[in-house]
A and B are shown apart, each in its own frame.
Chain A
Amino acid sequence: MSEQARQQAAQRGQWRRLPLIDSPRLRWGLAIGAVVYLFLALASVEVNWERVAEGAGRAVNFLGAFMQPDFVSRYDDIVAGLLESLTMTLTSTVLGVLLAIPVGLGAARNISPLPIYFVCRAIIAVSRTFQEIIIAILFVVMFGFGPFAGMITLAFATIGFMAKLLAEDIEDLDWRQVEAVRATGASWWQTMNHAVQPQVMPRLIGLSMYRLDINFRESSVIGIVGAGGIGATLNTSLSRYEYDTSAAILLIIIAIVLLCEYSSSHVRRWTQ
């Protein structure tokens, strides 16, 4: 409906709100497509209702465990797992950010030559596509069980995340400052240091804090495939049906993530 037709209809007292998608053909096409898809998808989901009914008791047990988490009986395992997770988080973030900086510089179209750009973009694509768990499986095969493989995994995932955002940041930086520094006869290195770095630094720090937070959350799961950290403890406790210990671990994870988020928002406010 054109703007004028809408106006006239409104004057006659018939008013309808603007649709989210303008073109009616696309709108109806999407709606019909969604219904057909939903039908097909729901038809292919097989649910074993007997098993679900059987598990309902466990769900109640689990909720009960959340009311009374047990921090004590597996205290040593929890502390060891947590320490491993935290050290993995910190080292992997530091390593990942350090490695992400050159990759990010290379992946910014405005400052890097084409061949380097493609190589760096390929690194980013590979690191971003695969879930941390999949990368962890490969690195556990290569480096053996333990936190080292986990650290390398998280560092690798950090590279893709940070380098992509850093490159986007560099691509829309204020080019006049770069030109000004170049006009003084600065070398490439000096241009990076005095024109590019000050512009992207606040965002880089903010993103690193955010990534620290993500890495902690991820470090709690890569233990499932043997890459160390609290995930292994959690997995063991779940498969032994010690729900009260699992609840305790989950509560600790939530608390640490909250703390991370709170402090990272402070750091971001302070740097920007």
Chain B
Amino acid sequence: MPVSTTPQGLPVWRRRTTRAQWLQYLAWLAGVSLFLLCWKMISDNTMWVFVEDAGRQGADLISRMTPPEWGYANVLWKPMWDTINIATLGTALGIMMAFPVAFLAARNTTPHPLVRSLALMVIVSSRSINSLIWAMLLVTILGPGVLAGIIAIALRSIGFVGKLLYEAIEEIHPTPVEAISATGASRLQVMNYGVLPQVMPAFAGISVYRWDINIRESTVLGLVGAGGIGLQLNASINSLAWDQVSVIFIMIFATVLVSEWISARVRHAII
């Protein structure tokens, strides 16, 4: 504890030394100035007239959205089914690809450091590109439709599942692995009986968690043409049918709540 003394010779408790205190002030100053600088740049690029108008616009929007046009829900069952399919099939495809990648990326199961860095690169590039961007790319390549959505979700899921899974593999207990290899098991057998049982619960949990996130993400893929309820959302917004938009919002909200509940239940049961 840094202690300084008053001129009278009494010790005074301070939390930081003078130097640390000044450094902290400086860090705050730098942080606040950076924030203000960024704020100014945004403010320069903003039409403040529109922002001042926001309250009225918001009220207008709400009045257009209510009451929701419930009849429109009948049209939405098929797109909703497509959305759930995009999320589920995409997750399934994604975890199938993520599984080997994770084993190649984990320090204790990788065959070679070079392979490891390659696998890590796959994981990072898949993680840093949003599924919507993947969808945009795939729509130009595969054409609009559910298939582009499924593959976009799968490509995005590789990184997420792969990263969490390889971290789980690196944290396994080494003793079962040693025991299995002491019996003279081959490399694959060690994986199968020593590593796999230890990471299986984590793997199932991660997959369900990603499925839950994917349901949320697949609701918007239609905005770029990749199928699902987003197509309907885009059409309704473009035709300014806000009472249909609110029906879509309510359906998305309900679906996401249900999927979140399922995923929480499953993860609870596993852990």
Which residues of chain A have a CB within 8 Å of any CB of chain B? Answer: 17-18, 20, 37-38, 41-42, 44-48, 51-52, 54-56, 58-59, 62, 83-84, 86-88, 90-91, 94, 125-126, 129-131, 133-134, 137-138, 141-144, 146-148, 151, 217-218, 220-221, 224-225, 228, 231, 234-235, 238, 241, 246, 250, 253-254, 257-258, 261
CA distance A151 to B38 in the complex (A): 11
Contact with A along B86-127 (1 / 0, CB 8 A): 001100100000000000000000000000000000001101
| Residue on A nearest B150 in the bound complex, by CB | A45
- Contact (Cβ within 8 A) B146 A250: no
Contact with A along B183-216 (1 / 0, CB 8 A): 0000000000100010011001000000000001
Give the shortest distance, in Å, between B153 (CB) and chain A (any CB).
13
Given contacts A55-B143, A88-B42, A129-B253, contact A134 B129 (CB under 8 A): no
B235 contacts the other chain (CB 8 A): no
* Set of chain A residues within 8 Å of B223, measured between Cβ atoms: 133, 224-225
* Set of chain B residues within 8 Å of A246, measured between Cβ atoms: 137
| Residue on A nearest B54 in the bound complex, by CB | A142
7 A–B pairs (Cβ distance < 8 Å), ordered by A? A41-B89, A91-B39, A141-B57, A142-B54, A144-B47, A257-B128, A261-B124
- Contact (Cβ within 8 A) B81 A254: no
Given contacts A257-B128, A258-B124, contact A228 B88 (CB under 8 A): no
Given contacts A94-B35, A224-B223, contact A217 B201 (CB under 8 A): no
Given contacts A45-B147, A131-B216, contact A254 B35 (CB under 8 A): no
* Set of chain B residues within 8 Å of A62, measured between Cβ atoms: 137, 140-141
CA distance A238 to B143 in the complex (A): 14
Within 8 A of A (CB), among B210-258: 216-217, 219-220, 223-224, 233, 237, 249, 252-253, 256-257
- Contact (Cβ within 8 A) B58 A87: no
- Contact (Cβ within 8 A) B42 A20: no
Shortest Cβ-Cβ A-B pairs, 9 listed: A144-B50, A51-B143, A257-B128, A87-B38, A148-B46, A55-B141, A133-B220, A41-B85, A221-B132
Contact with A along B68-96 (1 / 0, CB 8 A): 00000000000001100100110010000
| Residue on A nearest B147 in the bound complex, by CB | A47
| Residue on B nearest A254 in the bound complex, by CB | B128
* Set of chain A residues within 8 Å of B125, measured between Cβ atoms: 254
- Contact (Cβ within 8 A) B142 A52: yes
Contact with A along B39-73 (1 / 0, CB 8 A): 10111011100110110011001000000000000
Residue tally, chain B, CB below 8 Å to A: 59
B154 contacts the other chain (CB 8 A): no
- Contact (Cβ within 8 A) A146 B142: no
Give the shortest distance, in Å, between B81 (CB) and chain A (any CB).
7
* Set of chain A residues within 8 Å of B53, measured between Cβ atoms: 144
CA distance A59 to B89 in the complex (A): 22
Given contacts A44-B82, A87-B42, contact A134 B249 (CB under 8 A): yes
CA distance A231 to B136 in the complex (A): 11
CA distance A84 to B50 in the complex (A): 19
- Contact (Cβ within 8 A) A48 B145: yes
* Set of chain B residues within 8 Å of A54, measured between Cβ atoms: 143
Give the shortest distance, in Å, between B104 (CB) and chain A (any CB).
19
* Set of chain B residues within 8 Å of A143, measured between Cβ atoms: 46, 50-51, 54, 57
B164 contacts the other chain (CB 8 A): no
* Residue in B35, B51, B256 whose beta carbon sits within 8 Å of that of A144 in the complex: B51
B34 contacts the other chain (CB 8 A): yes
- Contact (Cβ within 8 A) A220 B133: yes
| Residue on B nearest A238 in the bound complex, by CB | B136
B130 contacts the other chain (CB 8 A): yes
- Contact (Cβ within 8 A) A17 B197: yes
- Contact (Cβ within 8 A) A58 B253: no
Give the shortest distance, in Å, between B29 (CB) and chain A (any CB).
15
* Residue in A44, A55, A125, A146 whose beta carbon sits within 8 Å of that of B46 in the complex: A146
Which residue, A143, A231, A250, A253, has most C-beta atoms of chain B within 10 A? A143
- Contact (Cβ within 8 A) A46 B136: no
Give the shortest distance, in Å, between A72 (CB) and chain B (any CB).
22
CA distance A261 to B128 in the complex (A): 10
- Contact (Cβ within 8 A) B128 A133: no
- Contact (Cβ within 8 A) A58 B140: yes
* Residue in A91, A129, A134 whose beta carbon sits within 8 Å of that of B257 in the complex: A129
Contacts A55-B143, A144-B51 aside, 6 further interface pairs with beta carbons under 8 A come to: A62-B137, A87-B38, A141-B61, A147-B42, A238-B140, A253-B128
* Set of chain A residues within 8 Å of B257, measured between Cβ atoms: 125, 129
